[in-house]
Structure 1
Amino acid sequence: MAMPHNFVATLVANPLNPSVTDEVIAAAAKAIGHETERSVLARGIAADLIFSGDAKVADHAIRAMLKGSEIDVIVQPLAHRRKRLFLADMDSTMIGQECIDELADFVGLKAEVSEITERAMRGEIAFEPALRERVSLLKNLPVGVVDEIIRERITLTPGGRALVQTIRANGGYTCLVSGGFTLFTGPIASKIGFHEHRSNLLLIEAERLTGEVAEPILGKEAKLATLKELRDRLGLQKHDTLAAGDGANDLAMLEEAGLGVAFHAKPAVAAAAHARVEHADLSALLYAQGYREEEVLGVD
């Protein structure tokens, strides 16, 4: 009797570079070395290869075949791929910027603050003290600059609204969880369509930043705790959860999720996560769940 097909490899390209051709799909199927069931999810953009066998071997074989191409591959168990809880980092994940770096630009310290941010996101220095150090440099900055930054400097990552809207339309719960600040996560979560947001509170006096952040700081452990809390509150299993992020403070959350996706992430994060997306936009997280192009809502 034939073994059931129990894994799926999803090939995904950036919609701006639709390179998942029939030839690529056939070559990937051949690389797996097992009988596969093929399904095109979005012409040129995403396709599934369903197979049985060793998932890690298949993953390595497909990556070797795709080397040099701008196509991502996500290999996972076929069962439970459709998720019911989605947690996402904000900075450099759901948006293209690091908000604290943009704030620092208003006091002429973007270069210094960006360097600390980069080191913290790579995991070279601890997140919490690095955040306190950066926030202290923002003392006396008028809080009104936040609206200007959101309006003029912040860009939503392509595919993000479609991702959140589609998950919500299919009964899923969504939470933006950030080591950044409520001044940003509130408006941005609303703009994208998240159910809720959690982040750090900048202290303010007389409409200016005091240079301090409320304790305890929401970092790596708090992101993990949020995933567990929401999962328990909603009565879900680990396999029902999806998380995405790019920095070292996202790793615990990514590892605890049923599918943890390193999105355009720092090398150490990409190496440790279940899956990584390096070329595609955030719609890749829908195709990884088996959604088809016609099911995707609110295309960005």
Structure 2
Amino acid sequence: MLIATLIAAKSLPVDALDHAQSILAAKGAKIGDQKWLAPEKAVDLSLDGITLADARVVFADFMAGVDVFVQNDEHRRKKLLISDMDSTAIADECMDELADYAGFRKESEEITIRAMRGELNFDESLKARTKLLAGLKTSIIEECVRDRIHLTPGVKTLIQTMNANGAHCFLVSGGFLDFAVPVAKEIGFEKAFANTLEFEGDTLTGQVLDPILGPETKKEILQEECNRFGIKLEETITLGDGANDIPMIEAAGLGVAYHAKPRTVSHSDAHISYGDMTAILFAQGYTPDQWVK
């Protein structure tokens, strides 16, 4: 059975269900049962007479302020989650924040934007941004983590709820372990995967150590963790915002673009453009009384 979950950033417009019925009717489909997950906030609609692919097209850009997930009810509650870090699990771009300490924020941001759009090779863009950090002390990294990194709203609730329900959750970043490890610990991820900065004593050399964790590596980690725990890809969910997240988004059972670049959205199964990370819980059928806060 197909389910469309309408999730409002604030509250669903009064005409949301009528609009859903109208756009479905135009395709010869209709709404079957409906189940409220949270009053005026999130509702499940069973769909009749339409394919998954067509339903996702119908609900693309449904209404301002409303995110929509369309999926089969089988394997709805996921057993494995992999999330990107920068601009996904956290609201910041770590490399740009570090570059600010070195006086190269603008240069780093320009490279980041182009890389996340898919306009630059990821490995080369990572090396170029890392080079801007040469000479920074390890104490600056600690200060940056403490003072400049902000968790994405709802992410701790998402991960801790999934943990409590037996899922495995991993943070996989094209950034650096110096950020990913403390972020993963604070949120509750099982493990963090990321790149390693090179140091000479307590000073950054401006180099990143091989092998580089890039787009394909994220996909490989997804498959490796599935194999390790005996989990099917259909039982997984991945979250990301940039072009380097596309391979793992395409490979997962449910690939989600989170406040993402247009190219990433076009490769996703669903996208969150208005709400926070708790939308992922509604998408899996969790009601707020089942959340771990």
**How far has the Cα of 1:47 moved from its partner?**
1.1
The one of 250, 254, 266 equivalent to 2:249 is 254
The question of whether the paired residues in 2 share the 8 Å contact of 1:50 and 1:78 is answered with no
Distance 1:282 1:140 in 2: 36
Unaligned runs of 5+ in 2: none
AA matched with 2:55: A
CA deviation vs aligned residue, 1:95-130 (integer Å, no higher than 9, x gap): 011000000000110000110011111100110011
Distance 2:153 2:31 in 1: 34
2:227 counterpart residue number: 232
2:20 counterpart residue number: 28
Query: In the alignment, does 2:160 pair up with 1:165?
Result: yes
Distance 1:60 1:49 in 2: 16
Distance 1:7 1:232 in 2: 27
CA deviation vs aligned residue, 1:34-64 (integer Å, no higher than 9, x gap): 1421111122221111123223333333446
CA deviation vs aligned residue, 1:155-197 (integer Å, no higher than 9, x gap): 1000100100010000000000000000000100000000000
Query: In the alignment, does 2:289 pair up with 1:294?
Result: yes
CA deviation vs aligned residue, 1:274-294 (integer Å, no higher than 9, x gap): 111111101111111111111
Unaligned runs of 5+ in 1: 1-5
1:39 counterpart residue number: 35
TM-score in terms of structure 1 length:
0.93
SS of corresponding position for 2:102? coil
The one of 169, 172, 175 equivalent to 1:180 is 175
The one of 184, 197, 200 equivalent to 1:202 is 197
The one of 52, 56, 63 equivalent to 1:55 is 52
**Aligned sequence identity (%):** 42
The one of 238, 254, 266 equivalent to 1:243 is 238
TM-score in terms of structure 2 length:
0.95
AA matched with 1:102: E
The question of whether the paired residues in 1 share the 8 Å contact of 2:3 and 2:72 is answered with yes
Matched positions, count: 288
Deviation larger for 53-62 or 100-109: 53-62
The question of whether the paired residues in 2 share the 8 Å contact of 1:223 and 1:250 is answered with yes
Aligned-pair Cα RMSD in Å: 1.3
AA matched with 2:41: I
SS of corresponding position for 2:138? coil
**How far has the Cα of 1:143 moved from its partner?**
1.1
**How far has the Cα of 1:150 moved from its partner?**
1.6
Distance 1:44 1:146 in 2: 43
Distance 1:58 1:195 in 2: 34
